[in-house]
Structure 1
Amino acid sequence: SISSTTRMLIIYIFLLFFFFSQSLPFTKIAHSITAQDHQPTPDSCILSMVVGQLKADDDPIMGFHQSFILKNINEAWVCTNDMFRLALHNFG
């Protein structure tokens, strides 16, 4: 079992890794995590869901949802599954 502070740090590091390791078509990005939920799984993994907002360059703020599974393999946390979606809605 890991502490909530450690879980939050894992989430933050994972998000930073995801956004800054990609070859993306913008120069700066800011993010804000507005909600997060974490649950242990029967096979000693952690299922996490993160909701937040992104702002890239001068674009409007966009919401996002990200769910992923972290598994402890040889004393290192590895992301085994990841789903990321921008929360874009067309109300017109």
Structure 2
Amino acid sequence: MVRWKLKHGAGQLFIYVITSSEIPDGQIEIKHCAFLKQKYYQRHPAFIYGIAGSYKEALDIVLKMFAEADESGMTGDVRGYLNSALGDN
């Protein structure tokens, strides 16, 4: 249901998404789902790596992502790790 609401622009008060950074050499960002309703994201859809029910939960997910990247030998490159795990080299 959360994914459907995100896709169709329905408001959700406590949902945060983990996306690719807008900065060229950036890693990932945590954004409130309301940001995705802006016109920019209609033209440039964000790639969502994760969905969380609170900002704290989003931070926990990001920390886990960085720990997994570190364990796989990709320290500091969580975006590269996530893309390789998804098969998007």
TM-score by length of 1: 0.25
Q: Which structure: greater helix fraction?
A: 2
Q: Which structure: greater strand fraction?
A: 1
TM-score by length of 2: 0.26
Q: Which protein shows a greater Rg?
A: 1
Greater relative CO (CA pairs within 8 A, separation 6+):
2
